[in-house]
Structure 1
Amino acid sequence: MNKNQQLVNLLTHLEAQLQTLSLWQKHAPEPERLLSTQPFCVDTLTFEQWLQFIFIPKISAMLAANSPLPTQISLCPMAEESFKAHGDKIAALINVIADIDELLSGQRQQTLYCQS
């Protein structure tokens, strides 16, 4: 399986995990909230909103256009911090985010719920 197909599979798994954990929203936030210039739109969105409304669509569009994918990416530290209140039930979500980091950047900066 090539890198693009692996990434499609990981994005699908990411969406499924967000839905399973009831972190997937039915309605998009107001359009102006998506225009933040802050990393992860921390001033206007929750991290799960950023994943759903910014990250997944942007990476999906890059894949569809056969554009170069980011090679310096590190979502896992933000995910671990953002989701720490959820406890162990968030382990699969953290692992899929770490898998995306590793696929795109070659690095895995995961400290919680590491797969053996």
Structure 2
Amino acid sequence: MSGSDDLSRLLSAIEHELRRIDLWSSVSPPEDALASNAPFCYDTLALHEWLQWVLLPRMKAIIEGGLQLPEHSGIAPLGEQVFPDLTQDTDDLLLLLRRFDEFIEGHGE
């Protein structure tokens, strides 16, 4: 198995968990919300929206294009701050985000 296979499985697991805890939307945010220059689009999107509409598509494009992975990732600490405000049980999602961060930190160059 390649690193890209492992990453693809991890991204699929994040998507599955977002769906399972009902944080997945079939309606895309407005284009201007997605075009935010703020980290994680924090000024226009909730973190779970950013995961769905920005992170997952970008990472899939990186894998499919054989492009270089980011050097760093710090998504889990942000999730630890914002997810407690949600009614959903986000423990498994946070675990997956920690695994994602660890993967990127170990493979990004």
TM normalised by structure 1 equals: 0.86
User: Which position in structure 1 is the counterpart of 2:21?
Assistant: 21
**Aligned sequence identity (%):** 29
Please say if residues 47 and 79 of structure 2, whose CA atoms lie closer than 8 Å, have aligned partners that are also in contact: yes
Instruction: Give the distance between the partners of 1:57 and 1:9, measured in 2 at CA.
Output: 14
1:16-95 mapped onto 2 (5 Å cutoff): 16-86=16-86, 89-95=89-95
The letter of the residue matching 1:58 is: R
Q: Which has the higher contact order (CA 8 A, sep 6+)?
A: 2
Unaligned runs of 5+ in 2: none
Please say if residues 21 and 88 of structure 2, whose CA atoms lie closer than 8 Å, have aligned partners that are also in contact: no
List structure 1 segments (4+ residues) > 6 angstroms apart after TM superposition: none
Deviation at 1:91? 1.0
Could you report, residue by residue, the CA deviation over 1:4-58 in whole angstroms, capped at 9, with x for unpaired residues?
1111000000000000111001110111110000010011000001000000000
TM normalised by structure 2 equals: 0.92
Please say if residues 13 and 96 of structure 2, whose CA atoms lie closer than 8 Å, have aligned partners that are also in contact: yes
Instruction: Give the distance between the partners of 1:30 and 1:85, measured in 2 at CA.
Output: 23
Report the CA distance shift for 1:38/1:7 in structure 2 as closer, same or farther (over 3 A). same
Please say if residues 41 and 50 of structure 2, whose CA atoms lie closer than 8 Å, have aligned partners that are also in contact: yes
User: Which position in structure 1 is the counterpart of 2:99?
Assistant: 99
Deviation at 1:92? 0.7
Deviation at 1:87? 7.1
